[in-house]
Structure 1
Amino acid sequence: MAEFEEEIIIIEDDDVIKSLKQEESDDSDKKKKIIIFSAISAVLIVIIIVTLILIFSSDKKEEVQKYSIDSIEEKLNDNQDKKQNLEMSELENMIAKAAYLYENGSQAKALHLYEKIAQFSESISQYNLGVAQLKNEQYDTALKTFSKAIQNGEKRCVSAINAAVCSLHMNNKKSFDYYINLAYAYLPSENKSPLYSYYYALIQYYKNNYFEALSALNNPTTDEYPNIQKHLKSKINALYNNNFKAIEELEKDYEKEDSLSLGLLYGRIGDIGLAEKYIQEALSNNIEPVKSALALSYIYLKSGRVTSAGKLIQNTTDMFPEEVYKPYPIKVKLKDELFDPEKAQASYKEDIKKSNLIKYHKIFYFSPYKIFNANSTIDYIRKGNTNIYIDNVHSAKNYLKRSKATSSVNKGIVQAIKMALSFDLRDANQKLQNLVNIQPRHSILHYNLALTYAQMGDITNAYQHFLKSYHLDAKNYLSGIYASLCADLLDKDKKRLLNTLKESILLENDSEEIQFYKTLMFISNNNSSSASDWLYHDYKQRPIYLALEAIIADDLNNKAIAKKATTTLSTLFPNDILPQIMYIDTHFNELKPKKYAFEVLKYLKKQNFNYKDLFYGPFITRQLYIQQSLITGNLYFVRKILRDELETTRKNTEELTSALALASLYDKSYEESYVLYNNLIDTLKVRDSYTLFLGAVASTAAGHNANAIALLELSKMKNKTFKQSRYALGLLYLETQNNAGASIQLNMVGDSGFRSKYFTFDIDTDKLYLQKTLGQI
């Protein structure tokens, strides 16, 4: 009997994971019926077995020993063609004997014995014979037997429930509806039975009247079957997302068989520690190993132990290559906080405090471009003239040729810087690329090119050129430090680079510039406390210095200095968007959600933006302004000004298209965003790893998952260490049942607590429903 009790107490996995919203829909009602159908047989088998034993035997072993079965069997064998009355005690013990044989594995003998009993006491034995047939999965035969029991007037209510069970196993909904309604019709005859509340609860549960069922379970007329009743209560509470109540029920008289269900429920409420504990216990006790292993791997994915998840998924797939795809099919989706204004606000505030991506991009935004060293050019000319004088013509020509190229490059650098400072960032970047082809060993040229890449959001190229600049001139410390910031964003090892920089900078005489470099290195190491000295230096109020003050003060929760720094920045750049966003971050961040949105919108409306930085400028401006527009409900206006500019401009449209694609994504115009990103990538040839990733985000939102996979493959090729792309790609491969491909991607993410800002997943209950309908699970 214990075996069948365990079968009912395990809460169905798709029940545990379903959301309340889905379950209240019409389609969900159908799904719940299927779930109910799959559980009903186990519940009623337990009822029948326990009831049978309670009625006919108080101690099976004792009864079997007390009475001799042989003489009764002889009577049955000798009277095949006629009924013979048996003493009730003998009949009861025969039934107990049959039950005992069945429970100890002698099903054939038990069925044979039931059939013989049926010849002498049809009204009682039909019911019990049906129980045995049901347990032996002879559903068609059992249904007929229970039908006879009902006709004979024996245990009509319970027999009708059992007949409904048989109908479920036979996938005969019409028959199920008939017998469950018949059970309800016979229920009044049980009104004096202590088990009335139990029967009532079961029938209401199977009729999808869950609140009525729960009410009966919460106000029982019997203490019988406490284990089954607590699990039914837990199951119903889980159906309605009353997860804490469901957990409370399961933890009463806790049994290890409940470990998987408890783990799933704790995972549902976000208690990852307890979820892992219980699912690990389920695994160690070999409780549904495929389900337990997959559940644990999904817990790992949610908790940032991504590589562990990938390895567990691969091991489970290797051991159970077919079964592994049945229990928990997943559906990849984007996180709610991307689109919900209040959730987006909470996520934004956390990012402002903790995101290195935002901090570093603020630094890049205010970083100075560098002008060429004129003395170097003059030196080349002097050396050329000297060599002419000493008749070394070949060497002189090389020097003079180099000086001419250098002068041309230096002139081009000045022109490119003017473009960048006017927010014609892509034009500046293109000009600097051309200049690098002329003078590939020009340290300042590589620094400026790297800075344009960084401001555009192309961190991979920025890293390469910052590093090249530093290698060409070891005294160009800013290039080396910025290379370390990029390495951090790219998940590259920066330890050796920082150690080299530290050793070199310590050899320099102390100065304002050296203090600036040291402060940047502290930020690169996430060491704001050591960088705090910067807050108390009395240096000239350069934009980059003020930006550092705001970042450090905000990290240290020094609100006064942070507010002062951003106030000065917003005054220096009244028409630029990012300084005003930084002002908002320090002045309004403590406000409650609705008040915050109101004050931010009011503040932004007062500003006189020309929007050139939004249309053609740095990546960080587009990212933060569009997020603020989502929070304040202003996305429609932003999309309008972007469309108007896109329709009238003759300039490069890459940044405009990128901004409109992002705004459309946040405004839930998924198909428009998908088309815009495809145009940006395919036509305008913007193919940095982050743009490719955002294109995949839009593709997923629009339901074009195959396109998302293709873009993510390109994104991780551009940047092999880009965890966002690998994590998303791993999830999408899991969704397509390519566990091998998923494991490869997930194994590259690590176990360091990675959380995707964009992607998450749910259990695909629609697919589970279809699989159950088709009899695949």
Structure 2
Amino acid sequence: MAEEVVILEADPLSTSEEEGFAPIAEEGAEETAATSALQNEEDEQKSKSKKKLLILLILGSILLLGIVIAIVIIIQNKNRAANMPVAVAQVVEKPVLKEQFSPSKLEGMIKKAHLLYEQGNKDDALKIYEKIATFNEAISYYNIGVAKLKEQNFPEALEAFKKAIQNKEHRTISAINAAVCALEMKDNTLFTYYIDLAFAYLPEESNAPLYSYYVGLVHYYKDFYYEALSAVSHPSNDFYKEDQEYLSSKILASLNYNAYALSTLEKIEKMSDYFTLGLLQAKLGEFSKAKTSLLKALQNDRENPKIKMALAMVENKMGNLGNVASLMGEVYKVRDTDAQPIYKMHAILKPSLFDVDKAQIEFEKELFFNDENTYSLIFYYAPYKVFDAKQTIDYIRKGSMNIFIDEIGPALSYLKASSTISKVNIAISKGIKKALDFHVYEANDIFAKMVEEYKNHSILHYNLALTYAQMGDYAAAYKNFSKSYHLDSNNYLAGVFALMSGNLIGKDITKLSEDVKESINKNQTLEKDNLYASLTHLTDGNHFSLTRWIEKEKEDSPLSLMLNIIAAQKLNNERIYRLSTQKLQALLPKDIISNIIAFNVKHQKQDIKNYAKAIQMEFNRLPLDYDAFYFGPKIVKEQYIKLLQIGGLLHQKRDSVRVKMEEERIDIPSIMQTLAYMEIYTNNFEEAFSLYNKLIDDYGKKDTHTIFLASVAAIGAGHSENAIALLELSKLTDPSNVESKYALGLLYQEVGNFEAANAQYRSIGNIGFISDYFSFAIQR
């Protein structure tokens, strides 16, 4: 006998097999980026994950049911004719006759009830179901259970299925549906009991058309995923083939075979489960496709908060943080303030930060040429400015002359001015000496102290700004470059560098750009395609105009050669790119950055594994000046560490840096910065966190970059509260730090402070921001 079985519709976001956006392929298959929804407690999670696969299906064919019922009626009528009972002369109570229906009428009633139910007319549908159920007591309790299950009256449905089991009819299917009821009632003990019961009754169904489906369902609910997959992958017949393929895709997803799960789901023609489709696409890092699928799912169920939050996660991965804020606002403004998150997400560091294989997958050989790295290279090779020695001598000469003619007042004034200028010049000389020796943090301290005393000194502000730019504090660099330029509009480098640092922090530099260009154009002594004008083309993104720069003859200074390299790379001029790289390496043979760029030009066409081998061979023998790495600018630390990581040399070099720090007696904070940064990349987060705390507390290093990296270490070490405090401080120091805002958004979302999270996301907006450091995972 075939029978109608109703399994509750899956709750797609509450199961582990669909939940994820894994350190979602970034981060190639990243980062982790996995999304799966799950409750905090282990038992509740198990219950939730089961529900997802309880799909509203009709396991018993309506047509088969009608045919079987017809057979029952025919057999009963034949038995009555063959075995006519002999009349007994006694008074008996007249039985109440149950209403009988012909098979065709019964089939029509079942179809009508099903149609009414699907159209939302549940009351009338249930009346018909119950009327049908009175036809024969043998199937009455089962169909009442089905009717109550559709009505989501789980306690009464459970009682009906119990009675069906007790009548020894449809025991496997009744037990499965009883387990559904128990699961919906959050009774895990009862759920386990009925699934075990269904498992025990399975042999009774060995000849049933849907035997493979029953086996698949029961094994899945018992966590025997491979056995379940085997059953539904080898159906006993073609009944409900697509439904079994759908279950196969769910099981494959739960086993993390996401690509197979997606391909299985995509080939089911009648299936329009865009929600599941979107989640699988997100797991595989296909965020654009996932967004399209989830938007379709949302069209069919506009107020479903789970779909909205799934879409919010995908938008997050795509860098559309403004959309994330809007979606989260819609979901949580209508929920209780103490409501549990739909997705319990966890802020993490991108796995590619410390996983060599993932780093190699993500590595781009054009590693220098995003906006920040392009500008950082310019800052790295930019010259520091020296004092005007002639001005000092003139002041001293004038002072001496006035003393000679007994004009004491003016003489003292001139000599005092010369003394002040000399003091500033001495400080500038010391600062430049430190900077040229790569002790950029010490140089920054010298310039910062002098600027406090001499606030209107253009050269001081320029040099201070350049140290900030090399340290990665672009907000402070912008402030001081702008000040330097306004104090001396002929300081064109200060003006151009103000534009670059302004771009990096998202400042509106339109007016400043016009002013700088006008000052440069007014200077008749400058050639048309001069260095300063060409640098403004770079800030404008006007790369075509750089053609004239790379074609003209000019002095081969480090800065002009670097602009050549950048321009040639952006214009795809390989000849100039290679030639300029060779010239820069010849000019600075021990410079780490020039050697990294030259290496990249030489090996850029190799696959990543051979590229990594070449790193090991060449950088172990190059005679480099490692002071730039130990003490120097941010870009040297970042790019050299990245290269060491790709080549598998990071741990080896980290050990040598530890030894160097123990030996250092003068610039301890700078090398401590380098070691702390390396500890992040070698997955030693506690050590990194401890070093950054020492830098901040003991050495007073409270620049935004140091504080930000301390927060990175805190997140890696699992100190979320410390990370929030550090990020708030970093944002206060540099309100334009988008990385800090994004990390704060993730951390606030993690602790359930959705209003604060939305404020951070909204402040970033839909700019396509993809963090270099942070991602998120969905906790199971």
TM-score using structure 2 length: 0.85
CA contact (8 A) 1:330 1:763 kept: yes
With 485-494 and 546-555 compared, the bigger mean Cα shift is at 546-555
In the alignment, structure 1 residue 262 sits paired with structure 2 residue 274? no
Q: CA RMSD in A?
A: 3.8
In the alignment, structure 1 residue 209 sits paired with structure 2 residue 224? yes
Distance 1:402 1:377 in 2: 9
In the alignment, structure 1 residue 749 sits paired with structure 2 residue 759? no
Q: Which consecutive residues of structure 2, in runs of 5 or more, have no partner in the other structure?
A: 23-31, 71-90
How far apart are residue 651 of structure 1 and its match?
A: 0.8
Please give the residue correspondences for 1:402-421 in structure 2 after superposition, counting only pairs within 5 Å: 402-421=417-436
Q: Which residue number in structure 2 is paired with residue 7 of structure 1? A: 9
Match of 1:186 among 201, 215, 224: 201
Amino acid at match of 2:18: V
1:1-42 Cα distance to aligned partner (Å, 9 max, x none): 99978824957564212469999xxx9998885345324655
Cα–Cα, structure 1 residues 51 and 660, in superposed 2: closer, same or farther, change >3 Å?
A: farther
Q: Which residue number in structure 2 is paired with residue 47 of structure 1? A: 59
Amino acid at match of 2:579: K
Distance 1:447 1:316 in 2: 49
In the alignment, structure 1 residue 723 sits paired with structure 2 residue 738? yes
In the alignment, structure 1 residue 310 sits paired with structure 2 residue 325? yes
Q: Which residue number in structure 1 is paired with residue 101 of structure 2? A: 89
How far apart are residue 752 of structure 1 and its match?
A: 1.9
Please give the residue correspondences for 1:260-299 in structure 2 after superposition, counting only pairs within 5 Å: 260-299=275-314
Q: Which residue number in structure 2 is paired with residue 460 of structure 1? A: 475
SS in 1 for 2:347: strand
Match of 1:488 among 503, 518, 530: 503
Distance 1:262 1:140 in 2: 33
In the alignment, structure 1 residue 375 sits paired with structure 2 residue 408? no
In the alignment, structure 1 residue 651 sits paired with structure 2 residue 651? no
1:622-645 Cα distance to aligned partner (Å, 9 max, x none): 111112121112122222222112
Distance 2:92 2:241 in 1: 42
Distance 1:310 1:15 in 2: 26
Distance 2:510 2:461 in 1: 22
Q: Which residue number in structure 1 is paired with residue 18 of structure 2? A: 16
With 95-104 and 456-465 compared, the bigger mean Cα shift is at 95-104
How far apart are residue 89 of structure 1 and its match?
A: 3.4
Distance 1:271 1:301 in 2: 13
CA contact (8 A) 1:688 1:718 kept: yes
SS in 1 for 2:736: coil
1:386-427 Cα distance to aligned partner (Å, 9 max, x none): 878999865654444222211222233223222221223233
Amino acid at match of 2:206: N
Q: Which residue number in structure 2 is paired with residue 531 of structure 1? A: 546
In the alignment, structure 1 residue 628 sits paired with structure 2 residue 640? no
Please give the residue correspondences for 1:379-398 in structure 2 after superposition, counting only pairs within 5 Å: 379-381=394-396, 397-398=412-413
Distance 1:8 1:410 in 2: 75
How far apart are residue 531 of structure 1 and its match?
A: 1.5
Match of 1:160 among 172, 175, 180: 175
Distance 2:439 2:8 in 1: 69
Cα–Cα, structure 1 residues 432 and 580, in superposed 2: closer, same or farther, change >3 Å?
A: same
With 662-671 and 588-597 compared, the bigger mean Cα shift is at 588-597
CA contact (8 A) 1:33 1:208 kept: no
Match of 1:430 among 429, 441, 445: 445
Cα–Cα, structure 1 residues 140 and 109, in superposed 2: closer, same or farther, change >3 Å?
A: closer
1:659-709 Cα distance to aligned partner (Å, 9 max, x none): 101111101111111111121222222122222221111111111111111
Q: Which residue number in structure 1 is paired with residue 146 of structure 2? A: 131
How far apart are residue 621 of structure 1 and its match?
A: 1.5
Amino acid at match of 1:582: I
CA contact (8 A) 1:48 1:131 kept: no
Task: Give the length in aligned residue pairs.
Answer: 739
Amino acid at match of 2:502: A
Distance 1:471 1:618 in 2: 26
Percent of residue pairs identical: 37
Match of 2:51 among 26, 34, 38: 38
Distance 1:388 1:319 in 2: 83
SS in 2 for 1:590: coil
Distance 2:232 2:106 in 1: 34
CA contact (8 A) 2:592 2:624 kept: yes
With 664-673 and 648-657 compared, the bigger mean Cα shift is at 648-657
SS in 2 for 1:331: strand
1:726-747 Cα distance to aligned partner (Å, 9 max, x none): 1111111111111100111111
Cα–Cα, structure 1 residues 52 and 197, in superposed 2: closer, same or farther, change >3 Å?
A: same
Amino acid at match of 1:419: K
How far apart are residue 368 of structure 1 and its match?
A: 1.3
CA contact (8 A) 1:456 1:618 kept: yes
SS in 2 for 1:370: coil
Please give the residue correspondences for 1:214-253 in structure 2 after superposition, counting only pairs within 5 Å: 214-225=229-240, 228-251=243-266
CA contact (8 A) 2:15 2:49 kept: no
Cα–Cα, structure 1 residues 610 and 56, in superposed 2: closer, same or farther, change >3 Å?
A: same
CA contact (8 A) 2:133 2:139 kept: no
Distance 2:346 2:434 in 1: 46
Which structure has more helix as a fraction of its residues?
Answer: 1
CA contact (8 A) 1:543 1:569 kept: yes
CA contact (8 A) 1:146 1:162 kept: yes
Cα–Cα, structure 1 residues 269 and 34, in superposed 2: closer, same or farther, change >3 Å?
A: same
Q: Which residue number in structure 1 is paired with residue 521 of structure 2? A: 506
Q: Which residue number in structure 1 is paired with residue 25 of structure 2? A: none
Match of 1:618 among 621, 629, 633: 633
Distance 2:201 2:363 in 1: 60
CA contact (8 A) 1:566 1:579 kept: yes
CA contact (8 A) 2:277 2:290 kept: yes
Cα–Cα, structure 1 residues 632 and 641, in superposed 2: closer, same or farther, change >3 Å?
A: same
How far apart are residue 383 of structure 1 and its match?
A: 5.9
Match of 2:564 among 549, 565, 579: 549
Cα–Cα, structure 1 residues 140 and 461, in superposed 2: closer, same or farther, change >3 Å?
A: closer
How far apart are residue 608 of structure 1 and its match?
A: 2.3
Please give the residue correspondences for 1:296-375 in structure 2 after superposition, counting only pairs within 5 Å: 296-321=311-336, 325-349=340-364, 352-375=367-390
SS in 2 for 1:761: strand
How far apart are residue 579 of structure 1 and its match?
A: 2.3
Cα–Cα, structure 1 residues 664 and 512, in superposed 2: closer, same or farther, change >3 Å?
A: farther
Q: Which residue number in structure 2 is paired with residue 443 of structure 1? A: 458
With 492-501 and 235-244 compared, the bigger mean Cα shift is at 235-244
Distance 1:654 1:205 in 2: 57
1:159-215 Cα distance to aligned partner (Å, 9 max, x none): 222233334344444544443333233333333332223222222322333344334
Q: Which consecutive residues of structure 1, in runs of 5 or more, have no partner in the other structure?
A: 59-78, 766-777
1:572-597 Cα distance to aligned partner (Å, 9 max, x none): 33333222222223222222111111
Distance 2:174 2:106 in 1: 21
CA contact (8 A) 2:673 2:692 kept: yes
Match of 2:573 among 546, 551, 558: 558
CA contact (8 A) 1:8 1:228 kept: no
How far apart are residue 475 of structure 1 and its match?
A: 0.5
The higher relative CO (CA closer than 8 Å, separation ≥ 6) is in 2
How far apart are residue 384 of structure 1 and its match?
A: 5.5
Cα–Cα, structure 1 residues 405 and 261, in superposed 2: closer, same or farther, change >3 Å?
A: same
SS in 1 for 2:777: strand
Distance 1:80 1:736 in 2: 73
With 218-227 and 739-748 compared, the bigger mean Cα shift is at 218-227
Amino acid at match of 1:37: K
